[in-house]
Amino acid sequence: MGFCMTKGHGIGFGKAILFNEHFVVYGIPSIVSAIGNYTVAKVEVYDKPGFKLVDKRPATPKYKEDKLDQQKESFELMFKKMGVDLLKKGVSITLEGNLFAASGIGASAASCVAVARALAEYFNMTLSDEEINEIAFEGEKGYHGTPSGVDNTASTYGGLIWFQKGEKNIIDRIALSNPVEIVIGNTGKVTDTKAAVDGVKQRKEMNQKKYQEVFDRAENIAYLAKRAIQDRSFTNVGKLMNENHKLLQQIEVSSRELDFLVNIARDAGALGAKLTGGGLGGNMIALTPGKELQNKVATAIEKEGFQTVKTVIGASRESVEHI
């Protein structure tokens, strides 16, 4: 490693999976979007070997404590992948930004991408987005075990992305001329994505025929949704989100709280609503084009005592360049 900059700085987007979380693990196409909220990482010199973490991100209670061991493991994996040696001189890593550290909105991926970018700047490495994405994928393994790579991809590139896991992942940008308003509702329950993914695997093995049908429909929905987004036909996108939620219920990754928030959002006029991310708690997403509808849906959820984030899908790197 050559000389170090005095400071390194990087951002990673939060994300919302619009279609096919869980199915994506098995190679079914998914649609994921960066949201307008992001994590910022700052890397500075630390006068001891190793690393010090200062985590200033807003968070769901207990999230940071619950994830601390996984977070440390994730950092170690990224240091290794980047060839960063902290034995002689350590680094202090500060995490901040306006992305809630919560389950289901890509908090872990956003922090991996932000840290990878900040370390690259600090150690004066010139890395492409593809390389940053690979490092963040390595970091995600600390949290997920065997992540599909969908989260870190959205977090790295921004925008709206068609993602299909394979020997070589297919990563295609879906054009969306303007970002679209969404509401993310937080059940307040911190969940374990790895456990949710393991549960699907077990049930899939035990109910092969039923799961095959559900997986086939999920694949079909991805293609229909891509077309609907490209046509800016948000009523159809919403309907497909509702159907996608049904499939997620069938593979048993929804929860009472998620279904409750999904119904509230629909009753308040959301064009569609579904769980987003690992499920079993964590977050749901409602499609609410226009500020008025967004406020209405967010208020309905908040009235029931749940936290919301009002943000957009399709957030681009350019839109946050000032950070």
Binding residues vs ligand PMV (CB under 6 A): 21-22, 24-25, 103-104, 106, 144, 147-148, 150-151, 193, 197, 277-278
Q: What is the DSSP string of 261-273?
A: HHHHHHHTT-SEE
Question: What is the closest distance, in whole angstroms, from the C-beta atom of residue 85 to ligand PMV in the complex?
Answer: 29
Question: What is the closest distance, in whole angstroms, from the C-beta atom of residue 177 to ligand PMV in the complex?
Answer: 26
Q: Are 301 and 308 in contact (CB under 8 A)?
A: yes
Nearer to ligand PMV, 220 or 233 (CB): 220
Strand partners, 284: 185, 275
The helix or strand, by DSSP H or E, that contains position 12, with its residue range, turns out to be: strand 7-19
Residue nearest to ligand PMV (CB): 277
Q: Are 17 and 193 in contact (CB under 8 A)?
A: no
- Tell me how far apart the terminal alpha carbons of the chain are, to the nearest angstrom: 27
Q: Can you state the percent helix, strand and coil of the chain, rounding each to 5?
A: 45, 25, 30
**Tokens 């390595």, located at residue:** 138
Question: What is the closest distance, in whole angstroms, from the C-beta atom of residue 145 to ligand PMV in the complex?
Answer: 9
d(CA 49, CA 45): 10
Q: Which two tokens stand for residue 74?
A: 């994730």
Q: Which two tokens stand for residue 175?
A: 């054009």
Question: What is the closest distance, in whole angstroms, from the C-beta atom of residue 2 to ligand PMV in the complex?
Answer: 34
Question: What is the closest distance, in whole angstroms, from the C-beta atom of residue 199 to ligand PMV in the complex?
Answer: 11
Question: What is the closest distance, in whole angstroms, from the C-beta atom of residue 144 to ligand PMV in the complex?
Answer: 5
Nearer to ligand PMV, 268 or 280 (CB): 280
Nearer to ligand PMV, 58 or 90 (CB): 58
| Alpha helix stretches (DSSP H) within the chain | 63-82, 107-122, 129-144, 150-157, 193-206, 208-230, 234-250, 256-267, 291-303
Nearer to ligand PMV, 151 or 243 (CB): 151
DSSP designation for 280? S
Nearer to ligand PMV, 103 or 294 (CB): 103
Nearer to ligand PMV, 222 or 293 (CB): 222
